[in-house]
Each structure stands twice: as structure tokens, then as C-alpha cells.
Structure 1
Amino acid sequence: MTIDTVTPAIAIARVDPDRDAALVHAWLTHPRARFWEMTGIDADEARAYLTRVTDDPHQDAWLGRVDGKPLFYVETYDPARVLPADVLTPAAGDVGMHLLVAPPDGAARRGLTSEIMAAVMRHCLDPLGGLGADRVVVEPDVRNAAILSKNAAAGFRVVNEADVVIDGIAKRAAVSVCTRQDFAASPLGDGPAAAESAHLDGDLGRRAHRHLVAKAIAEFAHERMIAPEPDGAGGWALRVPDHDVAYAFSARVLPLEHWAIDEASIVRRIGGAETPLDVLELILELQTRLGLSDELLPVYLEELSSTLASAMSKLQGARDGDAPTAAALLSADLQQTEAAMTEGHPGFVANNGRIGFSLSDYRAYAPERGGRVRLQWVAARRELSHLSLGRGLDEARHLEAALAPDERTAFASRLADRGLDPADYHLLPVHPWQAEHRLPITFAADVARGDLVPVGTGADEHQPQQSIRTFYNLTRHGAPYVKVALAIQNMGFLRGLSPKYMRDTPAINDWVSDVVAGDDAFAQAGFGLLRERAALGYTGDVYHRSHVDSAHRRMLAALWRESPATMTAPGERLATMASLLHRDHEGAAVASALVRESGIGAEAWLGRYIDAYLLPLVHGVLAHDLAFMPHGENLILVLRDHVVERVLMKDIGEEVAVLGDRGLPPGVERIRAVVSGREKALAIFTDVFDGVLRHLSAILETDGVLTAERFWRVVAGRLDRYESAHPEHARGLTGDVDLRAARFPHSCLNRLQLRNTLQMVDLGNQAESLLYAGEMDNPVRR
């Protein structure tokens, strides 16, 4: 086994006691090796010592050569068999290490010991050519200043100082550990760029900037904040005179003022000289036109920087072969598809803000990483928390669904061990980030009082969903989704979860479910719901006793939602609807691949999708004054033979609204928002036509699958069919909802975020918070 570096050539091989004893004996008995406590042994004792080490299955002895000359001795061992558990908690993948460098023969060679230490660490950590350790453990004498300094340079962290006896030798040891990441980021490692920031690569950065510049120009132009002009040569130009900057590009302007920009065509010039694309610079150049205040500019730039970093990370995954192609996603399961999504919200430019996440948090919890996460659990005193349950669900059945038997037993035992009665507490799941950053700090007083009692890590593994604070249970098939609070800033909101709203969530879901179940039109479309059956919120904190409604009131709550895992028949496959707007790293679109593989033709495929997706939403608005929030991550598609058969709607409690005066049960009243017929129609125009179908139409046109004109003709034809089948609902309950009007108000999302990136809308009065940019032509007008 050898590990080489460029200069010098360093090789490490196992010790042969008979061959190497005399050499190692000379090193061990030199005064420089006094901390090995073997300066008085003779050659036979040295041979016996090496033999004992090499014969021990839990140790190894290694001889290192530099440019062919023997210059160091290394021992590796299993720390769990050497160090007491109270000194160091062992971990899988630990390797212990001792290093002895030969005394200099003549003038010392500057930097040689550092090169040897680096080679030894690579030998221990390298999973291919070395021992593949996850963590290296050392326990030098605390008096050995030279090796302590060298260990620090290699990334070791002292975790304990303890009196230990090893091989009969007593010492005060500086027990230290170094992970692969610690070493890589250390002065002797490859440096932080290689270890922690490999995705922040120049080539990946250029690609990510180009993509985001294209999206920014397209969406800002769509929302009429900027106005590209024809350049006279078949292309388009965006000029920023006060910055002497101009952008030139090729694009097609499609219905709903959708700018389908050819990313590769974009050129940026300053004073006539071509310069690299930079989405952050673009925002600075357009700040005045975007109406972005000086106070919020840095916040928006940080969210956009996070989006840029996320884009680079996704591109790195593709470069490393970890990203599935569009073709592969045609047979992927739901969670493989969830993790493959790269775009985020199709309309927002800064859509992956996640302010509060570190790089390690991103890698652990970002949906596109597809990681496995175990939730933390806390017991919340019953009289200071509220558990709401859906119709027909009692607490015992809820706990059976929410927790595995071993979890329930363990958490109850841990409460009892503290002298607490488990019956006095509800069990609340907490996002691991929230458990680390909020629970022991923001709620320190509650934990100290025993009103909140951390009870440990759950057993089930979960995968983060696109909505980032929702988790899918990977361990127990059919177990409910879990949605928890997460106090990070993302896309215009702090992603909390309101205990106040949670009280009514199951009742709202039951009511909506009754509406859907009692209407044959929903049943004929196969429209289904993933009901939120249970919700729990903690309100015993001081923030709930203050006079100000703040984000601090939305930091400890959870809900449990039905899983779609048990809702398919043989031959059916689940996929997030966001996948219809996904292009892979090679530029291939999932929607186009589905159409081609279905074999039924583009118009027939689209018609089936419109029947399953759009028409139930239209029926909800027209027949029931009921509006859903039907963006890509809120819909689960059920496909058969690559065709959409039906859809399952989720996120009911927080994102459904009743837009009229129809009667509602008391617990459901909070979702009422009485608006005019013109505003009711926006539930379709803005959220479906502009928010989803505009982007899908552009993908199919760009790919040559279906022109935008034919696309919207199919949509209009399906609406005609609906009106013929339900003439009594054609204009809604109040007779003033016209989905075939010539024009409709142009409600803008990026304008909201740019106005206040900290809170885009007032959640209690969303309709009054909206921003408009005139009107748009309706592509399905009569």
C-alpha cells in the first residue's frame, strides 16, 4: 500500500519486525522520542514490541519512506480498545494513530515533518488507497508541544484532557480527533476550496449566473419592470443607460408575455466591451427600475446569492454524475423525483434563499440533496400546548401513526426517568436545525421550567420535500408526512408554523374533504386530497404572552398529513407536479419526455392533464367559491403509462381559501376571504395560467412538442367542455366570475418580494397585499 505526493515521494508500507527492528529501535531510543517512554529498550525488545503490534488484529505498524529512504514509523489502532469510554465516545470509522519521525541525519529539512504528517493523514483517511477512516484519533502527552502544534496544523481538535494508561504507560493525554473534512480544511490539507466549497467553481459559477440572468430578465420583463426592445437584427436588447450597460439576447415572446430566452445567446457589454454575466450585478444595475429599496437591497442580494450557491451545488451534482436525466425520471419514484428538482418556484428569481442555513445545514437538509434526516422530539406540557385531531382520529391512533412503538416507549421512559408523567405531555417533532438553533436558546426558559423537555432523536428516517420544512417518512411505508416549523428566511417569509392556525387545520381539512367527496365533478376527475389529520402547537412561551404577534410565535408547531404512498393502484406512479417544469442538466424536459413516451400525441396528453389538474380547480372556484394554492410542489401527480390520470392536492390548511359568503362551520371561518368575481378568477388566472401553464407551454413550444397557440387552444376547449357540462356554474356562485374574459389583472410575484423580501404579504389579508402591473391578454378569451 503506497500513497504518493508530488514532492517528495512518500510511501507507506507495513512493518516487517525482523527487517525493520534495528531501524525503529534506533528511532525509539533517541532522546527526541522520549514521550514514547521506550528510550531504554534494547534491539530484542524493539523486535518483540513490533511483533506484538503487527500480530494484534486491532493494530498495525507502518514504515514510511521519503524518496526511498526510511524516515518515519506509524502505528494505527482501534481507539475503542485503547481509550476508556469516559475519555472518548467511540464512533464507527475511528482510527487511532501514533507517529514517530526519525531524528535528522545532518541538517534538518524544512517542512519535512509537515509533509510526512499530511501523508500519514491521507493514509488514514483515504477511502480508496488508505484505511478509509472517517475520523483519526490521537492522544499525545500534553507536554509534547511539538506534536500538539503539528496535530493542530493537520486539523485535530482537542476534545478532552485525561489521565490514561496505554501499554502500561501513564500520561496526561490531549485526546484529539480529526475528521476527513477537518483535515481537508487544515493548513496541511487540500484547503477549504476543495473541502467545503468545491461547488463554488468558476465554470459552475458562470453557468449558474447565465441561467439566473436569463430567468431574471425573463421574469422582470414578464412583470413589466423592464422592457427589452427589438435590436433590429431579430434579437432583443436591454439597455441600462445610467450604468452604460447593455444586454443582447435571442428570445421568443409567447402568450401571457412569457419570455423564452435562449440562455446561450445572452451577451453583456459595458461601454461596448463584452463582460461576464453576473446576476448580482444585474440587480445592482436594475435596482431603481425594480423599485428595490436601499434598506432591502442587501437582504435580496443575500437571498439571490444563496440561490446562486444552490444552483452551483446542483450543477456540481450533475457534473459528478449524481443528477438523473429527464429520461431516468420517467421511471423514478416520488422521492427520487423530489430530490431531482432544481428550479424551485418557476416565477421567483431569488427562490432558494434559506437564510440561516450554513453550508453543512444545506447539505443535510436541502431537498435537492435527497438526504435522510431523523427528526428531534420534544415533550410539550399538555396544558401549554394544543393537539387538534381530524374527524374519526383519536390521540392513541394519532400516536401510532406519528411514532414507531420503540419511539413511544423510549420517550415515555425518558420522561419517567426525570420524574415526569408522560401523560402530562404531548410529543412534538422538531426540525434538527430548529432543535439546535432555537429550542435551547429562544426557548431556554421553557426547557429550564420543564414545560419543554427534549426527549431525543426519532428512529424513522425522513426525506426533506421541496417545501423544505415538510418530511416524507422513508422508514415506515404509509406513515404521514410531517411538517414542522423552521425559522429560516426563504422566499419572502420566515418559514414558521402557527400554533394558532394549527388549531383549526384538521377541521378545515375535514370540511374541504367533505366538499370534494360530496361533488361528483371532483370524483369524475379523480381529484383527491392529502388531508392534514393532526396538528400540534406549543403556546406556553413568553412570546405568546406579549402584545405583539411575531415570528417567535410560530417556532414550535407541527402537522401530520396523509401520505400518498398507499393511494396508488398497480401500474400507477407518483411524481411531484413540479417535475413537469423541470429540465435536467442536459437541457431535456421531463414534460416533453412524458409526452413523447406516452404515444398518445401532445394535444391528447395535455388534455388529460388539464382534465385532472385545471378543471377540478376551476370547479372549486366556480361551484364552491373554493380556491386552492395549486403550484407545482403542492400537487402530486398520479401517472399511468406516462399520462396524468389524476392529482392529489396537499397543503390544505394554510393555503386554501373560501372567496365568498357561503356558510362555514365556526372552526373553518378563518379561511374566508370575500372578494369580487374579478378577484376570484385570479385564483385560476394567476395561480394556474400564469404560475404553471405559462411555463409548461413555453417548454413544449421550445422543444417542438406543441406550439403555444395549440396549447392554449386545448385549454380553451377543455373549459368549453366544462361549461357545457356545468352551465349552472359557468359564471360562479355570484354570476360574475368570467374565466373567458378578454383580459385580467396582472398580479406579480417578484414585485412582492422586491417590495419586502422579509414578508411579501400579510398572511391575514393576502388579497390586499397583492401588486399588479396592469392587465394581460387572456390566452383562452372567447
Structure 2
Amino acid sequence: MRASRGNELGLLGLHDPDLWRQANVNLIEKALAELCYEGLITASQSENGSRFSVSVPTGGYCWQGRLNRWQHPVIHPGSVIHIADGSPATDAMTVLHRVLEGRVKNPATLANYLSETLNTLAADTQMLAARRGLCARDWLALPSHHLHSLLDGHPKAIPSKGRIGWSFIDNQRYAPEHAPAFRLHWLAVHHSLAEPVYAPGWTASRLLEASCNEAEHNRLSGLLPSSEYWTMPVHPWQWEAMITRQFAGPIAAGAMFPLGEAGDCYVPQPSLRTLSNIDRPARPDLKLSLSLLTTSAYRGLSARHLSHSPMQSIWLQQLLTSDPLLADCNATALKEAATAFIPHPVYHTLPGTPYQFDEMLGAVWRESAHSHLGTGERIVMASVLQQKDDSGHSLAAELIHMSGTGATRWLTFLFDRAVVPLYHLQARYGLGFIAHGQNLMLRFRDELPVGILLKDYQGDLFRTDEDWTSHPGLPVQAWDALPALPPHFLIHHLWTGLFASVFRFMAPQLEIEGVFSEYAFYRLLAKRLQIYQDSHPTLAPRFTRLGLFSHKMPLLSLNRARFSHGYGDMAQRPVHSPGPLLDNPLIFGAPSGK
């Protein structure tokens, strides 16, 4: 009877002892490695360099492994044991409690962090159940939305699926590892309350058409009392949990009213708030506000970033096609058709209000990657490169094997078509894109990386605060709206986003599988970047200002930021905290790895 009820609720994966144990072991290894990398704990290393230990009052833990070029422990799977009795460490909550107690000063912060960890373990167990027996090649053969739904998630956030605010049933309905498909809730919004920002050629009717067949389009349009109303999509969870009550005033006044669930079915991307049209994949993706705390912040949408991003995305695509190097690298910006933001009548005007209260009702319509897919191509998130199947085989290694070319040639394609254009955007135009594994998408043809696609410009596209370039075709207000940073900070969008969040995990795994040594990986990366620098001598002063080849690079610490900021309300989104300086893996002396 109990098992039947568990099956009915979809709990069998969660309560499977083998899957639960494996999820815990995986998270323990990730946690110890990331906490060491961020300098939050210190591991002692044996004389032969292959055994590491962390001491805590209850005895501590040790494991087998090595350090990669980032001085980040690469832990041999299943090797973490209790120092006291040599038994395997299989309870992530206990390990984190013992390791972090005393290091995290606020007990409430630690308790919330552990609660996020439990949520993550539940999601990871479901993930393991969903991909059980799936080898790397079969994984890569899946449709992109399904492939992405099975990825591990944020590589640096230990509780990467905290999702504070969602119940288990909410996860079943809306989390990617459960492979849901759902329809959106729709609102009728009066023009006096808010007006979308459209890219040229787009209208409210065309936006609705992108999510509905003709019959649904006509039905919803017929529910609007006049042409002074337009239709706004809302995530169904957001409607139920937030909008029904928080916007009760405007609804009661008739400034907006619900139209119900309608239109095409959508599936969630790993970011949760970005949704892909599963019925018509070439139609625009939708990015919708979610008042959900996960990884580092609430996943709402800010008015500050929405008003100019359609124009910025169009301008960026024009730049990518007009610059010979960027065009040759097949770099593409996914253009935004429109954005919309409905301000809360009180929170929006309240100084110092917690940011999540002012980000509850926003939307972005953005070109789907599928709409750019050519014959014989695949487009996937860059995070695929750091992913392993559950037997330990890297998806990147499988892509190299499937390409039929050598690893050196394959990686040269990757560096020339992904890294060089991002660096060129910084050096030539003073534009820095946060190129982490979800924002950056890779285009493959015959399994060779041949181009990149950029997306998510709301707060993830920056400019230098120095006058490096003109911006023809972009209104000055849209240029000024881009956050400005000094060049030596701008470089960290490449360093922290792509190098530390993707390559840091990808390169050691290629070495473990005998595909390509980590030392040679960064040698080749440095060589391709130096070839680019040598071919652009007029940009030499900017290369110096950016400092990509500085001997030391600062570490931006995600978990440290959570411990510092805690879980209290804040007027601004939390930012990463600085950690200890790192030796730049692009600077070479003797090979590392000992």
C-alpha cells in the first residue's frame, strides 16, 4: 500500500536507496572540491600528492585524487572516506554540517544552506533515475531540450537545485528532470498599466501567434474587451503562488485580468524560468519571472534590464555579422522580439524594497536556438562539455570521438570558434558577455564546434567604462544602459564564466579518459589566444588593460557569497564574493597535476 502510494506521487526514484546513496556521494565529492577551490576549507596533501584530507573536530575526511591547474581537487569517484574508521562517506548533509559548522558563522544561514542541499539531493536523485543506463552517445542523440534536462546543473553552486518556494509536486510539474510539458497562464493587460517593448516588426498579436495556433489565438483575442488590452504570458506557478494575490488590486480594478491556461505546451530549460515551445520548437523561447530562490538569487526579471534589451540584441547581431572575424567564427546573437514588465503598484515605488518584490511580472520573447539550426547541425549549451554520463564518460570526449578528428584539431576549432570571438568582443568593442555554460551555446556540424550563439542580455552583457568604441545604430540610451566595468573586471566574464565554469571541469576529465592532457589543453588555449593577439597588434594596449595573461587572477566565490549574504531580504541581487588569488592556468612553468 505504501509503495503504491509512493509510485502514485512519483517518489520511487527519490526513495530508491541506491540512487539516494549515489546522489549523496556525488554531492559530497562536489562539495569538498568546491569548498577547497574557494578557499573555505583547506585539504592537506600527502607526499606523493594523491591523498588529501580535511580535518574537523569529529575526525574529518580523506580521498584519493589530484589537483588540476586551478588547484581544484579532482576527486576519484567513490574515494571519500571517514578518517576515523575508513568507512565510505555517503551522507552529504552530515559531511557539510561537520565541515561548515564553525566556518559559517550564522547558524540560520547554515541551516538554510543545508535545506537547499536536501532539495538538491531530491532533484539529483530524480535526475539519476531519469538518465539511468544512458551512455554518453545515447545522451547526445536526444533532442536538445531533453539532453539539457538531464545535465547536472550549476557546477559551482553546491546546492544547485535549492528551488526554495517549490514543493515536491511543483518540481514534478515544472522542473526539467521530470520532463514536464505545460501550458502557460495568460493575462489581459491594459496599456495604461504597461506596454511591451517591441523589436521592429513585432506586435502584440504576432507575439500571441508565436505561442498559439490560429484557433487559440482567435479565442484569446476575442476575450479582450478592446484594442487597449494586450496578452501577457505568466508561468503557471508564478500565477498561482504570487500574481493572484500580489496583483489582486490591479485585477480587481480591471487593469488586468486572467484569461486562463492556453496555447502551445512549453518545457523548462535548466534555468527554470526560460521555456521552449515543444509543439513548435522554432517559435521564440519565453523567459518568465519566477519568484523562486535558487543557486544565488530569486529568478524574477528586472525592469532595469528589460527596456533596452530587444534593441541591444538586434544591434549585437548586426555587429556579429559586420565584423569579419566574428562573422567568420559563425557567432550569432539570439534576438529578442519583445520584453514586458508590469510594475507592482506599491513595491515598484518603495525605496529599498527587496528586489524579488519588484521582479514578479516580466517576460522576454527571444529567438529559439532551434530556429537557427542548419542541416547536419546540433546546437547545445556549453555546459554539455563538462558533463559526464553516470559511468564516468565525458560527453566532450564522445563528441571528439564521433567527429572522427583528433583531439588537437577539435579543441582548436572550439577555441577559435568560441573563445577567440568572445575575447575579440572585449578587446575590439569593449563588450563582455558572461559566457557560463547556460548562456553560451555551441553550434556543431559533423560534431565539430563551428560557432557560438549568445543569449540572455538582461544583466549578463557589460561594456567597458573606457571609451573603446562607438556604437553606430544603437541609441545612446541603450548603450548607457549596459552596466559598465573597468577592463580588468570585464575579462572575468570570460575567465569566470567559460574558463572556471566549463573548462575547469572539462579539461581534467579529458585527461582522465586519455583523450588530451590538461596541461596540453591550456597550452593550446593560450597558443590560440596568443595567435589572435599577434594578428591584432593595434589592440595591444587593450590586451594589457584586460589582463588575460596576468600571472594571478582573482577567484569569484559563489558559495562564499551565500555564506556572507545569508538568506535575508536585500534591495539588490547578491554578487559573488572574492576568494584567494589563483595562479593563471594560461601561464606555464612546469606541468601541474601533482
Aligned with residue 371 of structure 1, among 156, 164, 180 = 180
1:450 aligns with 2:254: yes
- Counterpart for residue 128 of structure 2: 315
Cα contact 2:80–2:88 (8 A) shared by 1: no
Unaligned runs of 5+ in 1: 1-183
Shift in Å at residue 340 of structure 1?
A: 2.4
1:326 aligns with 2:141: no
Letter in 1 for 2:141: S
- In 2, Cα distance between the equivalents of 1:451 and 1:523? 46
- In 2, Cα distance between the equivalents of 1:762 and 1:346? 27
Shift in Å at residue 275 of structure 1?
A: 6.1
1:221 aligns with 2:36: yes
Shift in Å at residue 410 of structure 1?
A: 1.2
Question: Which protein has greater RCO, CA pairs closer than 8 Å, 6+ apart?
Answer: 2
Query: In structure 2, do the counterparts of structure 1 residues 431 and 396 end up closer, same or farther at CA, with 3 Å as the change threshold?
Result: closer
1:650 aligns with 2:461: no
Alignment of structure 1 residues 688-703 onto 2, 5 Å:
688-703=498-513
Query: In structure 2, do the counterparts of structure 1 residues 743 and 406 end up closer, same or farther at CA, with 3 Å as the change threshold?
Result: same
Aligned with residue 338 of structure 1, among 135, 148, 172 = 148
- Counterpart for residue 89 of structure 1: none
Letter in 1 for 2:156: G
Cα contact 1:252–1:260 (8 A) shared by 2: yes
- In 1, Cα distance between the equivalents of 2:537 and 2:111? 52
Alignment of structure 1 residues 65-214 onto 2, 5 Å:
190-192=4-6, 195-198=9-12, 199-214=14-29
Provide Cα deviations, 1:592-638, integer angstroms capped at 9, x if missing partner.
11111212111111110111111111111111111111111112221
Query: In structure 2, do the counterparts of structure 1 residues 275 and 690 end up closer, same or farther at CA, with 3 Å as the change threshold?
Result: closer
- Counterpart for residue 231 of structure 2: 427
Alignment of structure 1 residues 353-368 onto 2, 5 Å:
353-368=162-177
Cα contact 1:377–1:457 (8 A) shared by 2: yes
Aligned residues: 580
Shift in Å at residue 337 of structure 1?
A: 1.4
SS at match of 1:746: strand
- In 2, Cα distance between the equivalents of 1:732 and 1:269? 50
Shift in Å at residue 477 of structure 1?
A: 4.0
1:381 aligns with 2:190: yes
- Counterpart for residue 666 of structure 1: 477
Shift in Å at residue 197 of structure 1?
A: 2.6
Letter in 2 for 1:265: S
Cα contact 1:612–1:644 (8 A) shared by 2: yes
Among the aligned pairs, what percent are the same residue?
A: 27
1:478 aligns with 2:282: yes
Alignment of structure 1 residues 443-522 onto 2, 5 Å:
443-522=247-326
- Counterpart for residue 591 of structure 1: 396
SS at match of 2:60: strand
Unaligned runs of 5+ in 2: 589-594
- Counterpart for residue 426 of structure 2: 621
SS at match of 1:632: coil
Shift in Å at residue 453 of structure 1?
A: 0.7
SS at match of 1:584: coil
- In 2, Cα distance between the equivalents of 1:516 and 1:589? 31
Cα contact 1:492–1:760 (8 A) shared by 2: no
Shift in Å at residue 380 of structure 1?
A: 1.4
Alignment of structure 1 residues 500-649 onto 2, 5 Å:
500-539=304-343, 541-550=345-354, 551-649=356-454
Provide Cα deviations, 1:359-393, integer angstroms capped at 9, x if missing partner.
12111111222221111111112111121012443
- Counterpart for residue 490 of structure 2: 680
- In 1, Cα distance between the equivalents of 2:479 and 2:213? 31
Letter in 1 for 2:317: S
Shift in Å at residue 245 of structure 1?
A: 2.1
Query: In structure 2, do the counterparts of structure 1 residues 472 and 190 end up closer, same or farther at CA, with 3 Å as the change threshold?
Result: closer
SS at match of 1:566: helix
- In 2, Cα distance between the equivalents of 1:268 and 1:207? 17
- Counterpart for residue 264 of structure 1: 78
- Counterpart for residue 96 of structure 1: none
TM-score under structure 2 length normalisation: 0.92
SS at match of 1:245: coil
1:744 aligns with 2:557: no
Shift in Å at residue 289 of structure 1?
A: 6.0
Q: CA RMSD in A?
A: 2.3
Shift in Å at residue 212 of structure 1?
A: 0.5
Aligned with residue 274 of structure 1, among 40, 63, 87 = 87
Query: In structure 2, do the counterparts of structure 1 residues 275 and 601 end up closer, same or farther at CA, with 3 Å as the change threshold?
Result: closer
Letter in 2 for 1:255: R
SS at match of 1:439: helix
- In 2, Cα distance between the equivalents of 1:234 and 1:395? 62
Shift in Å at residue 446 of structure 1?
A: 2.1
SS at match of 2:579: strand
Letter in 2 for 1:480: P
Letter in 1 for 2:176: P
- In 2, Cα distance between the equivalents of 1:762 and 1:714? 43
- Counterpart for residue 297 of structure 1: 110
Letter in 2 for 1:375: L
Aligned with residue 779 of structure 1, among 573, 585, 589 = 585
Cα contact 2:81–2:87 (8 A) shared by 1: yes
- In 1, Cα distance between the equivalents of 2:51 and 2:199? 55
- In 1, Cα distance between the equivalents of 2:300 and 2:366? 17
Query: In structure 2, do the counterparts of structure 1 residues 731 and 305 end up closer, same or farther at CA, with 3 Å as the change threshold?
Result: farther
Letter in 2 for 1:214: E
SS at match of 1:296: helix
Provide Cα deviations, 1:48-81, integer angstroms capped at 9, x if missing partner.
xxxxxxxxxxxxxxxxxxxxxxxxxxxxxxxxxx
Shift in Å at residue 758 of structure 1?
A: 3.7
Letter in 2 for 1:216: A
Query: In structure 2, do the counterparts of structure 1 residues 448 and 194 end up closer, same or farther at CA, with 3 Å as the change threshold?
Result: closer
Letter in 1 for 2:391: E
Cα contact 2:130–2:177 (8 A) shared by 1: no
Cα contact 2:50–2:66 (8 A) shared by 1: no
- In 2, Cα distance between the equivalents of 1:338 and 1:719? 29
- In 1, Cα distance between the equivalents of 2:431 and 2:50? 43
Shift in Å at residue 427 of structure 1?
A: 0.8
SS at match of 1:349: coil
